[in-house]
């Protein structure tokens, strides 16, 4: 079995088959951006993107992503290290305090903006509701997502041409 992680094909070995996606990413691939906050699907800290959908890696078996494309926070920046516009917006709006929720929050928002590049603040608030920020910086997080939305509108305009 194989999955594509951040654009690179990765083997899912027999010894990996009992792992969650979160364990596989963190322990086998050393991609530690996705966090183990609760391990039971309640906090969103482990959110990654699987085939464009935000997915809780702690509640997903690694075998479920065979043949699929996984994006983690490590795959958001450009190869030259330039931050993705959404990551930049989080920095510019002070939407990162301790940072523990940030990878999951960014990927939750990324999956949402891919589908809805012109959201209202209320839609953003609802979209990120599965993800908890223990530092409670929700206003800045919503500001950041709102300000990054135009970058997604440009991308969808281009792909429609």
Kindly write out the interface string for residues 14-53 of this chain, putting x where it contacts ligand FES by CB under 6 A and - elsewhere: ----------------------xxxx-xxxxxx-------
Contacts with 132 (C-beta within 8 Å, 6 or more apart), sequence order: 37, 42, 43, 44, 45, 101
Nearer CB in complex with ligand FES: 92/117: 92
- Closest distance to ligand FES from the beta carbon of 148 (Å): 17
Asked if 58 and 40 count as a contact pair (C-beta separation under 8 A), the reply is: yes
* Interacting span for ligand FES (CB under 6 A) from 1-9, 75-83, 91-99, 148-156: 91-99
- Closest distance to ligand FES from the beta carbon of 52 (Å): 19
- List 66, 91, 98, 118, residue binding ligand FES (CB under 6 A): 98
Contacts with 148 (C-beta within 8 Å, 6 or more apart), sequence order: 85, 86, 88, 89, 109, 113
Ranges within 105-144 binding ligand FES (CB under 6 A) = 133-135, 137
Helices (H) and strands (E) in the chain, counts: 5, 5
What's the full length of the chain, in residues? 161
């Amino acid at each position: 079995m194989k999955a594509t992680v951040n654009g690179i094909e990765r083997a899912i070995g027999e010894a990996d088959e009992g792992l969650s996606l979160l364990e596989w990413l963190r322990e086998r691939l050393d991609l530690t951006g996705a966090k183990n906050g609760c391990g039971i699907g309640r906090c969103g800290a482990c959110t990654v993107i699987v085939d464009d959908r935000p997915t809780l890696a702690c509640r997903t078996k690694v075998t479920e992503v065979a043949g699929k494309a996984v994006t983690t926070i490590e795959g958001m920046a450009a190869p030259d290290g330039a931050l993705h516009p959404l990551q930049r917006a989080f920095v510019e709006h002070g939407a990162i305090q301790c940072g523990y929720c940030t990878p999951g929050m960014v990927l939750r928002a990324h999956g949402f903006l891919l589908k809805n590049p012109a959201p209202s603040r209320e839609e953003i608030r609802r979209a990120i509701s599965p993800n908890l920020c223990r530092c409670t910086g929700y206003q800045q997080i919503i500001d950041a997502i709102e300000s990054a939305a135009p970058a997604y509108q440009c991308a969808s305009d281009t792909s429609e041409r």
